[in-house]
Chain A
Amino acid sequence: MIKAKDLTKVFNSGLLLSKNIITAVDEVNFEIGRGEILALVGESGSGKSTIGKMMLKLLKPSGGQILLEDKDIFSISNNKEFYSRVQGIFQDPYSSFNPIFKVNRIFKLVRQSFKKEISISEWNDRVEEVLKKVGLNAGDVLNKYIHQLSGGQLQRLLIARALLMDVEVLVADEITSMLDASTRVDVLEALLSLKEIGASILFVTHDLSQAYYISDKIVVLYKGSVVESGSIEKVFSNPMHPYTRMLLDSIPQLDRKWEEDRISVEDFDKSRAAWKEGLCKYIDRCSLADVNCMRPKLKLVEEDHYVACVKI
């Protein structure tokens, strides 16, 4: 089980003197139980990857904690042990590996580092089986170099690796975003098999249909703050925050064309200049906003369903 408690990350992007402070993650709380999938949804720049990186100890929080079975992950000093329990897969899968590695070398290394007790021949059988599970053909991929695989092939390979390691926590950061519909189904199924063996999965995505398909819980982020969270069934059947509603409305449909006059993009000037400390972060895009929209706190609106909006 993994838990984020008041997790906060502030970047001081001002190289030297400028005072450009970005609160990328702002007091975020959630908990992912054994065998649970939590969808972390939000637009680009909302802080999803930053949360994922902190869970992987790739970034230090500026405030708050991440607890793995009630132990602060930054107090686990044995990194090898930590990474045998917690693994991540990223948006750009090529960034995770040395491109001159061959695929079979990656699997050999996993065995050597984490699963020495398994015999080589049994390991090879497992590798083959797990590759099949994620829709890859061992004969096709094992002898290739990383850069010889397509993006989609590599994503599935990385899930296979996590499956082989029996990880407790997987951070999956936009891993299906470059995949076609059919391959994506294979990857989602692969994640579900990881859930079945009891892993806690943080499923970072911008795709709400995928989030709904596989997750148990959801956290919707906007500029680093949670605007809505809870059981995925509750949030989808009764979305309350104006941002969640807007996201649900802009899913591209196959039977309806976008209306071109309704391009709504974040208004950069407005969001930088007009926004003052203490106001709701969504104020510049919100249709319900007025001067009373001070920074809202998350409120329980029904069992297992929280919303942060003063108008609710």
Chain B
Amino acid sequence: MVEIKGLKIYYKTLRGDAKALDDVTFTINDREILGIAGESGCGKSTLGNSLILLKPPMKYVSGEVRLNGERLPIDNTVEMRKYRYKKIYLIPQYAMDALNPTRKIGGIIKDLVGQHRVKYEEIEGRLHERLRMVKLPKDILNMYPFELSGGMKQRLVLVISTLLNPDLLIADEVTSALDVSSQKAVSLMFKEFRDREIVNSIIFITHDIAVLYQIADRIVIMYAGKVVEIGPTEEIMANPLHPYTKALIKSLPNAGIRHTKEKLEGIPGHPPNLINPPAGCRFRDRCPLADENCLEEPPLAEINKGQYVACWKVKDL
């Protein structure tokens, strides 16, 4: 189990701190796939990155993260080395393009485990078995990354990142560049790795709610550095409560619409500036329900069983 409590991670900039994660609290249960969705720039990648490596200008402000009860030293990059890869691993956004093009895949894997002081021979058997699970042949180890299609690369990245059976795997937009059929195959393989307890829990970050609907157990919706709603996937999809969640789900495109016949509508307005975010609810100036109460910050409160929402108006609905 991973507990994130009151986590604040800011980016230092010349004009002040960008409050990219501002008091974020939620738990990831054992054997769970927790989806994180939200508008571009809302802090999804910041959340994933901060659990692995706080690179400047990212800075830890307050809050804590516990893994199976043990407090993680996320503010100490050296101490975190004990946990990185072995207990927690992140597949970064654009990981697929980041594989070293001049090195064969087997070599890339050797380098990676070597960096974490694990002998390649120790994990070789497991590597072969896992490649079989994702339907890739052993020969792939003698190939270069550019010889693989995107779907194959993402399956490979899944294998590489779980070789040491981490407790928590964070996947940042891993299916976003794939065509629909590979997207399905890759997502279901992540699920299978969880089902077989190769990883204990998964944080699956994506802007693609349709994919989350397919594989996530619960969904966290973020807006401008805050969690605005958390709940079981079915509830979030069928009965979203926060005005932002509602708008987000409404803006999903339906297959079969042409711009000449019907205009898709986004959510009007911009997310707030994170350096000087407005007081109160951060969705305020885009929210159709906002009134003077919203000048105060709404707490994340349990509205239905397991469904938490941060909005003053939600009880009136």
Which residues of A approach B to under 8 Å, CB–CB?
A: 11, 13, 15, 20, 22, 41-46, 91-92, 94-95, 135-137, 139-140, 143-144, 148-153, 174, 177-186, 188-189, 192, 206-210, 212-214, 233, 236, 246-248, 250-254, 257-258, 260, 263-269
A91 — nearest CB in chain B belongs to which residue? Answer: B177
Docked-complex contact A45 and B40, CB < 8 angstroms: no
Q: Which chain A positions have C-beta within 8 A of B11?
A: 148
- Does the CB pair B180–A206 fall under 8 Å? yes
Q: Does B50 count as interface, using CB distance less than 8 angstroms?
A: no
In Å, the complex CA distance between A15 and B147 comes to 12
| B165 contacts chain A at the CB level, 8 A cutoff | no
B178 adjacent to A185 (CB under 8 Å): no
A residues less than 8 Å from B265 (CB atoms)? 185
Bound Cα distance from A207 to B146, whole angstroms:
22
Measured CA separation A210–B259 after assembly (Å):
10
Q: Is the CB of B270 within 8 A of A136?
A: yes
A150-B40, A180-B39 as given contacts; A263 in contact with B188, CB under 8 Å = yes
Beyond the given pairs A44-B178, A178-B40, A183-B207, 5 more chain A to chain B contacts, judged by CB atoms under 8 angstroms and listed by A's residue number, are A13-B146, A20-B147, A95-B97, A136-B270, A140-B273
Asked if A43 contacts B151 (CB within 8 A), the reply is yes
B183 neighbours in A (Cβ, 8 Å) = 206, 250, 252
Closest B residue, CB atoms, query A209: B255
Contact, CB under 8 Å: B41 / A153: yes
Q: Mark B127-138, 1 if CB is under 8 A from A, else 0.
A: 000000001110
Q: Are B252's CB and A181's CB within 8 A? A: yes
Most chain B beta-carbon neighbours within 10 Å: one of A11, A95, A265 = A265
Among candidates B148, B178, B185, B214, residue contacting A264 with C-beta atoms closer than 8 Å: B185
Interface band, chain B: 35 or more
* 27 chain-A/chain-B pairs, Cβ below 8 angstroms: A13-B144, A15-B144, A41-B179, A43-B149, A43-B150, A44-B153, A44-B178, A45-B149, A91-B177, A92-B97, A148-B11, A148-B18, A149-B41, A153-B41, A178-B40, A181-B266, A182-B251, A184-B266, A192-B259, A213-B257, A247-B181, A250-B184, A253-B210, A254-B252, A257-B214, A260-B188, A264-B181
Q: Shortest CB–CB separation between residue A213 and chain B, in angstroms? A: 6
In the complex, the answer to whether A42 meets B179 with C-beta atoms within 8 Å is yes
With A44-B151, A268-B135 as given contacts, are A247 and B39 in contact (CB-CB < 8 Å)? Answer: no
Contact A151 B40 (CB under 8 A): yes
- List of A residues within 8 angstroms of B148 by Cβ: 45
Min CB distance, A269 to chain B, in Å? Answer: 6
CB distance from A159 to the nearest CB of B (A): 13
Can you list, as one digit per residue, whether each of B249-270 has a CB less than 8 Å from chain A (1) or not (0)?
0011111111100001111001
Interface residues of B in 133-166 (CB under 8 A from A): 135-137, 140, 144, 146-153, 155
Contact A265 B180 (CB under 8 A): no
B214 touches A258 (CB 8 A): yes
Is the Cβ of A258 less than 8 Å from the Cβ of B39? no
Instruction: Determine the residue in chain A with the shortest Cβ distance to B210.
Output: A252
Residue of B nearest to A268 (CB): B137
- Across the interface, do A181 and B248 meet the contact criterion of CB distance under 8 Å? yes
Distance between Cα atoms of A248 and B189 in the complex (Å): 21
Smallest CB-CB A-B distances: 5 pairs: A152-B40, A44-B150, A45-B149, A206-B179, A185-B266
Q: Which residue of A lies closest to B265 (CB)?
A: A185
Please give the distance in Å from A3's CB to the nearest CB on chain B: 24
Q: For residues 240 through 254 of chain B, which have their beta carbon under 8 Å from a beta carbon of chain A?
A: 247-248, 251-254
Cβ of B25 within 8 Å of any chain A Cβ, yes or no, is no
Chain B residues near A137: list those with CB within 8 A. Answer: 270, 273
List the B side residues contacting A189 at CB < 8 Å: 266
CB B120 to nearest CB in A, in angstroms, measures 22
Kindly state the separation between the CA atoms of A179 and B15 in the bound complex, as whole angstroms: 27
Cβ of B213: which chain A residues have Cβ within 8 Å of it? Answer: 252, 254, 257
Give the residues in chain B near A95, CB-CB below 8 Å. Answer: 97
Within 8 Å of chain A (Cβ to Cβ): is B48?
no
Q: Give per-residue flags for B174-217: 1 if the beta carbon is below 8 A from chain A beta carbons, else 0.
A: 00111111111101110100000000000000011111011000
Q: Which residue of chain A has its CB nearest to the CB of B97?
A: A92
B177: chain A residues at CB < 8 Å are 44, 91, 174, 177-178, 206
- Of A45, A46, A252, most buried by chain B (CB within 10 Å of CB) is A252
| Measured CA separation A41–B181 after assembly (Å) | 12
Q: A227: shortest Cβ distance to chain B, in Å?
A: 13
C-alpha gap A94/B92 in the complex (Å)? 14
B45 to A150, Cβ gap below 8 A?
yes
B139 to chain A, nearest CB (A): 8
B13 CB-CB contact with A under 8 Å: yes
- Residues in A with CB closer than 8 Å to B149 are 43-46, 266
Is B251 in contact with A252, judged by CB distance below 8 angstroms? no
* B184 engages A183 (CB within 8 Å): no
B37 interfacial by beta-carbon distance below 8 Å: yes
**Per-residue A-contact encoding for B46-74, CB less than 8 Å = 1, 0 else:** 00000000000000000000000000000
